Amino acid sequence: MSSIAFLFPGQGSQKVGMGKDLVETFPEAANIFATADQILGRSISDICFNGPTENLTVTSNAQPAIFVVSAAILSILQSRGIQASHVAGHSLGEITAYYAAGAIDFETALRIIDARGRGMAESVPAGLSGMAAVMGLDVDVITEILKPYTHCPVVIANYNCPGQIVVSGEKTALEQAVSDLKSAGGKVIPLPVSGAFHSPMMVKGAKVLGDFISPIEFRNAAVPIVLNRTAQPETRVDELKSNLPLQVVSPVRWIETVTYLKDTVGAVVEIGPGKVLTGLVKKIAPELPVQTINDSVSATEWLTSIVEH
């Protein structure tokens, strides 16, 4: 098997029912969910399996739920000796990548996710900021259109793939910027999120997260983590620790991340609910083989294919 990178999704990939078949099929997955329930003091399992959707969508539930599903799938692969040569995650998924690379343990990852979500939620009062996906415009055009709004701020938050850029910022300015982007021929879709993530408006959240992780002991990563903020591989403990608060206020450079992996590994595997990252990889680097593992069926099929080859 050629070298592979594991990719971990972020918020928005959640779906009621996720993880239930994994728990019913794989003891490793059942153990991960039981451990998460114990650490959190509430049943994230029940929220994943039964919802309702409005409960699962709340940031304080969605983020740990997505992490736990990804970690459950990861445990299945690792128990069979399957390891990645590189890891990366989109936004929230970067913390899953830290866990997968051994930089933090399972409980620490859950605690960090909780602190991160809390800090981001407290950064700006509800309803005063937002995010929107922009399709059909080049990055250079979007950048130029946003120049008058940078101080508001309205900025590029996610470089997801060619033709799909996410902008983030103060609500009133964002609405005006959206109007300008539409006038330039862009298709713009407001995102159902509670804040201007990956923008300067998350400064308070970054401080909350920085204060929280300050006493926590991190480790050097066992494999390189390709960071959202730099799109470069990192293993050094000090750099990894300082990156997490900075990541909250910095754009997700996913196009550059996948481009780096295209030149570095033979294939990538998306591990977690949904298949958002798989779709982005196909648009960024169609020549890069990509596999999605998001339930017991896809996990079993992929494991069988590895054995056969």
Catalytic residues: 91, 198
Q: Encoding tokens for residue 150?
A: 């940078």
d(C-alpha 92, C-alpha 90), whole Å: 6
- The residues pairing with 164 across neighbouring beta strands, listed in sequence order, are 135, 161
Q: Which residues contact 108 (CB under 8 A, 6 or more apart)?
A: 216
Phi–psi pair at 161, nearest 5 degrees: -165, 165
Going by C-alpha positions, the residue among 178, 120, 134, 188 that lies closest to residue 152 is 178
What is the rounded radius of gyration, in angstroms, for the C-alpha atoms of the chain? Answer: 19
Q: Determine if residue 200 is left, alpha or beta; phi over 0 gives left, psi from -120 to 50 gives alpha, anything else beta.
A: alpha
Q: Encoding tokens for residue 91?
A: 């936004």
C-alpha dihedral (292, 52, 49, 252), degrees to nearest 10: 30
